[in-house]
A and B are shown apart, each in its own frame.
Chain A
Amino acid sequence: MRTYILQRFIQMIIVMIVVMLVSFIIVELPPGDFLTTLSEQLTEQNVDPKVIDSTVEMYRARYGLGENWFIRFGKWAWSLMKGDMGYSMQHNRPASELMGERLSLTIWISIATLVFMFVVAVPIGMLSAIKQYSAWDHSFTFLALLGVSVPSFITALVFLLLSVTLLGATTVAGLFSPEYVTAEWSWAKFVDMLKHVWIILFIVGLGDTASTIRVMRARMLDTLGEPYIDTARMKGLSGAKIYFRHALRVAINPIISSIGLRFPQIISGSTIVAIVLTLPLIGPLLLDALLGEDVYLACSILVVLTLALVIGNFLADLALAWLDPRIRFES
């Protein structure tokens, strides 16, 4: 068990280093010196030359510009770790400022979407398998098919359309009611967000939920056909005990191990939805940064997202090991 965790941990570190290296190479790619660009920009804005010099000097020291590449990489990585995300050329602000709230919102929404997906999909999939070919099964199989095949931005557009035409909404979407958008975080703002967030969870999570229903149903059917389920039946156990105690924990395995893979899907899915619904998530910012060749910002977002992903994966692995003795004893 310990070796297993250690292994996963080391893998996690290696992935992080590789992603950071790649990001770093991208940062270094564009022709011209970052500092020249910066000072030109600042000059254009009529900033005091002394301030410009000191700013440039500060960045030179911080990123070790002018020294050889691995020192530069080391310094860059170190500053990233300290939470300094670099400087956005496009927005003329430190990247961390731009990302701040969007990042945490994105992560929370992703996690909430995952939970939503789990809570909805697992019971539905399980019941569909237990009641195979029933009306319940048929209707959810149909709905799941629909959910898998309709892209989330279409759902989002439909939602927009409906809320404008039917409900007469004036502010179309977003995470907050207009009065809270710029307000400080408060209990009231949080409650306001909860009121809005479920529809986003629904739109973002629909596709994943639908495919999870299908996976869960198929896995549950497979599991119920296993000989050890017959063994359990022959003990005289009730249906509930067989389904929950014996079948569920085996059937749910691949869904847990796929959590790590769901994360990027959710983030990219939420990006499209966020663009349509103008949500303050990280995705649109990343897109923006990429379009504007704002390398520092783009790479910082990339690195942070990767980190979130890798940690998610690691947690999924831990959960699996805790659930499945075969994995625990593997090493």
Chain B
Amino acid sequence: MNSPPDTDKVLDIRNLQVSFSSIAGTTRAVNGVSLNVRSGEIVGLVGESGCGKSVTIRSIVGLVPSPPALFEDGEIWLRTRRGMTETLSLYKNMKALRQIRGRDVSMIFQEPMRSVHPMMTIGQQITEGILEHEVVDPAEAYDRTVEMLDLVGLPSPPAQMNRYAHELSGGMRQRALIALALVCHPQLLLADEPTTALDVTIQAQILELIRDLRERMSMSVLLITHNMGVVANLADRISVMYLGRIMETGTVEEIFKEPAHPYTQGLLASMPSLFSQPKTHLQSLRGVVPELAMAPKGCVFADRCPHVMPICDETPPVVELRADHSAACWLYDDVEASQGPDAATAQPSHGGDSTLGDASQRVEVIPLTKTEPAADAAQKKLADSDTDQLQIENVALHYPILRGLLRRQVGTVRAVDGVDLSIRRGETLGLVGESGCGKTSVGRLVTRLVEPSAGRIRFGADGRLEEITHIPQKEMKGVRRSMGMVFQDPLSSLNARMNIRNIVGEPLMLHGMARGSAVDERVGELLEMVGLRAAHQSRFPHAFSGGQRQRIAIARALATEPSFLVADEPVSALDVSVQAQILNLLLTLQQQLNLSMLFIAHDIAVVRHVSDRIAVMYLGKIVELGNAREICVRPVHPYTEALLASIPLPMPGLATLQEMPKGDLPDPANPPTGCRFHTRCPYSQPICEQEEPRLVPFADAVDHFGACHFQDELHLQGVEEIGEIHGSAAAAGGEE
């Protein structure tokens, strides 16, 4: 065991065990992880938050502070310029460890916004790394830095040398950090959630950059992420991690086509994709990721596993299903013993199509009073209740930018700039766009949390539409009884000092709808409706997990029996498996209560899954509006096409767009003239810079609008529908 691995491996982690001791006791965050990365390979380590993937990757380079961390067992072999080196043993020898960092192995981090030093220029920060490891004169270091900045695609590199972090956008910072990491040509790049904090189109650019640099600099990459789509796009091999253990390892094709481990299957099934049947329930894993200290003995997944058996009380073996595909699960134990690894495919419960087919028996669906909502039913209902619940016309929200001593107005941020929308009774309208596009402002405008700068807002609680644009807050209070609101971060939107009864019951008391024990009763009902126990009323928010808090927030929003709900990024802060539960809950409640909903999110796959219609926003304007599936299959605006192409789909080998939008999101205070997308649009023509396109019907479609000069001529690429895609993905996989 103590011998160095073969030279083909750049990194070999063997049975790593890391514990953290605190007053509460010792917990093992990494529990026997083995993992390797070969030359030129991109390996993805996937898992939900708190599964130990960060500790694993940071252990490689000694970035886990010890104490409190205890390295109890294991070896980490790294290929360095001096041959294979065991890095855990170097912890005592900081000098040797420092020589490896940046030179043999580098790392980029999750938060590019905070990972660049705020008071040093980009140039200083990068050349510092060169000078640390190599004997070169400063002029050469300068030249090499410029070259590197060019390689990572930063515009006019010499100018970037003297810039500071705050002058760069998130995407540019991540590029600069990649340049910093690679300037000494390390053989291995560790990437810790490198795109999580970035917008989707920027994320796509960074992923493309990493893929490209891997070839050009012939290095290997170990990437950790919670996003299955990202690894599908980038990785050659994948390890799935859960509560400190590796559950499954395999090539990207096998993991996605034939996931073997129940956890992997559950994760994949719970992701809304652009191919799922909209407005149906996702197959969510039951429960939540337990606290590390509460993890089941034996198989740590046992409390959520649909296949759990008595033997799962013991630690499952790692079974080789094939060369390069292994899973830690008792289900496959006898396979190896009796039939050998090749027979793994014969196992009934693991295999490509069955993931969707017999999912119900494996993956628990939240029990509901109503059966699954069918897409057709929703469509039908639209037809009968064709009355609008909400109409906004030409609504705008402008903020002045004040500067200087006298707070002079030097500009205006047009957060929302002339938006028309309507939401029909019982309909869900999805609003999608990247950061700064104004989607959140629209949500705040319709609920009158901010005052519109222009336009009209009309809302009908139950019947006629009434103007609410400028009614006084007192009257608005009455209207709000019919409007519920759910926000992104359930922790900060719930008052930590109030118990659940008061949080959920507050709107009832505020509107004088109940008091005393009637509140308790109604709160109990609401809690049960969102899948919590009525008995938990006296607890406080911190006693609940993220998903449960979001349920509480939903219960509160529905307390006054509103007919309209605004949900602003309700699932983006949640783990994948919990996200599916909340989406399912929202879908069910909408059906049961006949809610109209404005669903705001940045992830077009999530929006598509819950919405009837989608509006795509870019820099304060609606650029496309139409039926949810239509928009995804046949987008008419180049920005929608870009958004669709940027979503990393859990479909390895899927061809993405050739031409991705270039550059960064422009500053909303200073949007481009003409078509606001022209600075990034691959189809831009001279006219686009001058004339602003209006939102007009697309060709002869009644319910599909676009704001592009060339929408009738362009043939944009969407995402094919379910049937076709399964065929083609399978075919693509089959060729391997």
Contact = CB atoms under 8 A, between A and B. Distances in A.
Nearest to A224: B65
B591 to A, nearest CB: 43
Contacts of B132: 235-237
Contacts of B180: 231, 235
Interface in B131-190: 132-133, 164, 166-167, 177, 180-181
Given A226-B114, A231-B116, A7 B404 contact: yes
Interface string A245-263: 1100110000000000000
B404 A3 contact: yes
A331 interface: yes
Contact of B166 (A239, A245, A326, A331): A326
Contacts of A231: 109, 115-117, 125, 177, 180
Interface in A298-331: 323-326, 329, 331
A234 B118 contact: no
A122 B573 CA distance: 39
Contacts of A234: 61, 63, 101-102, 106-107, 181
B655 interface: no
Nearest to A249: B119
A233 interface: yes
B117 A246 contact: yes
B581 to A, nearest CB: 31
Nearest to B109: A227
Given A10-B405, A233-B101, A250 B164 contact: no
Contact of A329 (B106, B114, B116, B166): B166
Nearest to A324: B119
Given A228-B118, A231-B109, A325 B61 contact: no
Contact of A236 (B102, B109, B117, B166): B102
B189 to A, nearest CB: 11
A227 B61 contact: no
A326 B109 CA distance: 22
A139 interface: no
A323 B117 contact: no
Given A234-B181, A326-B164, A329-B166, A228 B115 contact: yes
Interface string B409-428: 00000000000000000000
B128 interface: yes
A228 B63 contact: no
Nearest to A247: B117
A331 B406 CA distance: 13
A238 B101 CA distance: 11
B100 interface: yes
B164 A325 contact: yes
A227 B111 contact: yes
Nearest to A232: B117
A11 interface: yes
Contact of B119 (A232, A236, A325): A325
B109 A235 contact: no
Contacts of B106: 234
A331 B402 CA distance: 11
Contacts of B116: 228, 231
A231 B115 CA distance: 6
Contacts of A101: none
A259 B116 CA distance: 28
A33 interface: no
A329 B125 CA distance: 19
A246 B101 CA distance: 17
A11 B405 CA distance: 8
Contact of A326 (B94, B100, B110, B118): B118
Contacts of B128: 235, 237, 245
Interface string B95-128: 0001111110011011100111111110001001
A135 B474 CA distance: 60
Contacts of A324: 118-119
Most A CB contacts (10 A, CB to CB) among B101, B118, B133 go to: B118
Contacts of A326: 118-119, 164, 166
A11 B404 CA distance: 11
A248 to B, nearest CB: 10
B380 interface: no
Contacts of B63: 230, 233-234
B405 to A, nearest CB: 5
29 contacts: A3-B404, A7-B404, A11-B405, A226-B114, A227-B109, A227-B111, A227-B114, A227-B115, A228-B116, A228-B118, A230-B107, A231-B115, A231-B116, A234-B63, A235-B101, A235-B128, A236-B99, A236-B100, A236-B101, A236-B103, A236-B133, A237-B98, A238-B98, A246-B120, A250-B119, A324-B118, A325-B119, A325-B166, A331-B403
Interface of B: 61, 63, 94, 98-103, 106-107, 109-111, 114-121, 125, 128-129, 132-133, 164, 166-167, 177, 180-181, 403-405
Interface of A: 3, 7, 10-11, 226-228, 230-239, 245-246, 249-250, 323-326, 329, 331
In the A-B complex, the 5 residue pairs with the smallest Cβ-Cβ separation, listed nearest first, are: A236-B101, A235-B129, A227-B115, A236-B102, A236-B98
Given A249-B119, A326-B166, 7 more contacts: A227-B110, A230-B109, A233-B63, A234-B102, A234-B106, A236-B101, A236-B102
